[in-house]
Amino acid sequence: MAAAALDVDAVRAQFPALSSGMAFLDAPGGTQCPLSVIEAIATYLSDSNANLGGAFPSSRRSDELVERAHAVAAGFLGCRSEETVFGQNMTSLNFALTRALGRTLSAGDEILVTRLDHDGNIAPWLELARDLDLSVRFVEIHDDTTVDLDDLERQLTERTRVVAFPLASNAFGTMPDAARLVELAHAAGALAWGDAVHFAPHGPIDVAELGVDVLLCSPYKFFGPHLGLAFGREELLRSWRPYKVRPAADQPVGSRFETGTLAHELLAGFIAAVEYLESLGWDAIRTHERALGQRFLEGLPDCCALFGLATTEGRVPTFAFRLDGVAPREAAERLAERGLAVWDGDYYAFEPMTRLGLQPGGAVRAGFVHYNTLDEVDRLLDALAEL
């Protein structure tokens, strides 16, 4: 049976920010929130704002909220609730988890990262290597921004402990062959460490099917609040000694890596964001996004040089490009004057931008999600042709 078409008008009516007339084509930097998320955050703060473990009603409601947030996270990621970890953001969680892993590593151990990665999955390894005398090696990418799997195979050794990689590039939209990356990592006895920050708003995540050992994402990239979320295999999390205060509970195991008091109101918003996505269904979302990406690629004017895959296959609808004779920042400013929100710079994708010779200045980036329209794509294309 064919998937139901997405009712984009009904979707957009749920997002207060979209009524401004600005075309938000900046989703890779953070998505807008539906009203249900906004109301969930406000409702928690007005009705249940309390710390955990108290004998009074608002504290008990907070206990229930935290437990439910972990259960919802488990459903979203395809794991058990005790394997989920919330934190300030993906980068902070990655620093915390890599530090815990670091207690099991020895001088000379090797970490492999890719030139496609966001720095949130590179810098934590570089800092750990500085402290522990580890070796961090970079897996190369091809000119079309696909990961060079042959180079990965060549670099794997008996000292490789981790292979870190993105599920989708936040700069170019490219989706590596995650199954093959995990297979190669495990064959070498290494952990597979996935960054799903940019993939999460575009498709379902199933860590069991992927076979990853650790995976991180950011709810504010999939229509929720500013927050970080991680999965770690239960056996792995139990084998690490966490950095935590002594009275903090050791069960469930994932909570050992949640330092201090969580932002409970944001957990309420996270639950609402997942429920919102479930109300739409991934098939409808992906079909609409594919149409947006196809429209952009077919209409991109000759004055624009696209970086990455020139097809909707093997990618999410995120596009990096440069305009002839117009610096990326100037282009972004002139597009903003026309009511079009895009990004410029390197978006913390320092390695891939450097690899393609786009530093300094980076590139213009337009990223589409399901609340965008074909009309907004056309507005962008017309403005690019004018510029």
The per-residue pLDDT for 141 is: 98
Q: Where are the beta strands (DSSP E) in 214-333?
A: 214-217, 228-232, 304-307, 318-323
Distance between CA atoms of 222 and 32, rounded to whole angstroms? Answer: 8
Distance between CA atoms of 338 and 326, rounded to whole angstroms? Answer: 16
Given a cut of 70, is residue 2 above it in pLDDT? no
Please state the rounded mean pLDDT for residues 310-324: 97
263's tokens: 């932002």
In the three-class reduction of DSSP (H, G, I as helix; E, B as strand; rest coil), residue 42 is classed as helix
Distance between CA atoms of 142 and 368, rounded to whole angstroms? Answer: 24
Q: Phi/psi zone of residue 378: left (φ > 0), alpha (ψ -120 to 50 degrees), beta?
A: alpha
In the chain the domains, ranked by start, together with CATH numbers, are: 8-25+281-386 (3.90.1150.10), 39-276 (3.40.640.10)
Please count the CA atoms within 13 angstroms of the CA of 225 that sit on its side-chain side: 22
User: CA separation (Å) from 320 to 158, 176, 220, 310?
Assistant: 37, 17, 21, 11
Please state the rounded mean pLDDT for residues 343-371: 96
213 or 248: which leads in pLDDT: 213
pTM: 0.97
Cα-trace Rg, the chain: 21
Please state the rounded mean pLDDT for residues 163-188: 98
